[in-house]
Amino acid sequence: PRQPLTLTIFDLQGKVATSLELATPSPHAQLSVGHLPPGTYMLSVSQGRATQQARFFKK
């Protein structure tokens, strides 16, 4: 069975700003950042033991 996909956004202090878990992952997932204040964030995408991260800036 496919493992859930977890999207987590952290601020630069390492605090979780928002998170979403998808029980049935799809190739296109959306996570709203409209409520976040402007700044630099880290997006972590995890599925099972695999994790990828990317940094982004919200204006």
The per-residue pLDDT for range 5-31, each reduced to its tens digit, is 999 999 999 999 999 999 987 788 888
- Decide if 30 is inside a domain: no
* Mean pLDDT across 46-57: 96
- Decide if 55 is inside a domain: yes
* Count of structural domains within the chain: 1
- Decide if 11 is inside a domain: yes
What pLDDT score was predicted for residue 4?
93
Mean pLDDT of the chain: 93
- Decide if 32 is inside a domain: no
Q: What is the longest distance spanned by two Cα atoms in the chain?
A: 39
- Decide if 35 is inside a domain: no
- Decide if 46 is inside a domain: yes
- Decide if 29 is inside a domain: no
Q: What tokens were used for 28?
A: 């296109």
Whether 54 contacts 42, CB under 8 Å: yes
pTM of the model: 0.87
- Decide if 27 is inside a domain: no
Whether 51 contacts 21, CB under 8 Å: no
Which residues form the domain of 44?
Answer: 1-22+40-59
Percent of all residues in the chain with a pLDDT value above 90, rounded to a whole number: 78
Residue 46 carries which side chain, given as an amino acid letter?
Answer: S
